[in-house]
Amino acid sequence: MKTWVPSDLVADELSELPGVECAVYDGTSPMPEGVEEVEVWIPPLVTVPDVPGTLARMRSLRLLQTVTAGVEPYRPHLPEGAVLCNARGVHEAGTAEWAVGAMIAVLRDFPGFVDAQRRGEWTYHHTGVLADSTVLIVGYGSIGAALERRLDGFEVEIVRVARSARDGVHGMDELPALLPEADVVVLLVPATAATAGMVDAAFLARMKDGAVLVNAARGGVVDTDALVAELKTGRLRAALDVTAPEPLPEGHALWSAPGVLITPHVAGSTPASVRRTLRLVRAQVERYLAGEPLVNVITDSY
């Protein structure tokens, strides 16, 4: 079974499985031979060039297993007969941990204190605090639940919003009324047509003065120009692991906007994610070989 994998680490993990022939393709090296014969493709974390063209040539593809929760680069171009599965559960710990660290860093003004340390200045002042805050989680799925578990003990009120309302979780139609009460708004929604640009000027205007926007979703969920405009007023602050465009180019206004902490899409880039990726990939390929039901099958937009 010809299988393309993103790294030697994944190839080693699958090497003991009978009949699995691995070729490493990370998108930076030349494409291996035999693309028409690839039955299982596990793409790398960073999207390879020309996904539509690559998938169009994969006439034998039956399983596309991503190592990311998002599947937007692949879903529209999936060949007939292939099943698309995501890496739900792999990046929950890292992403949730990043979100907690990012909101605390912004609220407690850690970036400002780091700048003062570099200047050798003792800049004593009161800061914000997470305790007694209302944290609004927009996109309450498995990562949102992982974030809530990590916030337990910080003495905050959690408000949950998802695509569809359910017990204890508000629907998206209730979001405008919830925004003005939140001290921290965490974005964990997938990239879909419905979420593209959802955090626009009107969304940001409804956030309360001094609130923090935390984006651990996708850069395209936020209207970057609208966010920069709000940050320049000093009314809102933000912590961003993703941006639009991405990577953020040198000289972009977001780099120098006040009150923003930017990390280069690293929330899920941790040893824990690597370990969980290897476990998921091996178990999934074992299920495929045995003809057993696969997990994390994408049947809708996510």
Catalytic positions, written as ranges: 265
Residue 151: CB partners within 8 Å, gap ≥ 6? 100, 135, 158
CA distances from 76 to 17, 57, 183, 198 (A): 30, 15, 37, 21
Residue 3: CB partners within 8 Å, gap ≥ 6? 14, 20, 21, 22, 23, 38, 39, 40, 41, 42, 285
Q: How far apart are CA 57 and CA 36, in angstroms?
A: 6
- Neighbour-count burial of 46, counting CB atoms closer than 10 A to its CB (0-12 exposed, 13-18 middle, 19+ buried): exposed
Q: Beta partners for 260?
A: 238
Q: Beta partners for 238?
A: 213, 260
Q: How far apart are CA 281 and CA 34, in angstroms?
A: 21
Q: Beta partners for 21?
A: 2
Q: How far apart are CA 90 and CA 109, in angstroms?
A: 30
Q: Beta partners for 212?
A: 184, 237
Strand positions, DSSP E, 48-156: 63-65, 83-85, 134-138
Return the residue matching tokens 């995501």: 86
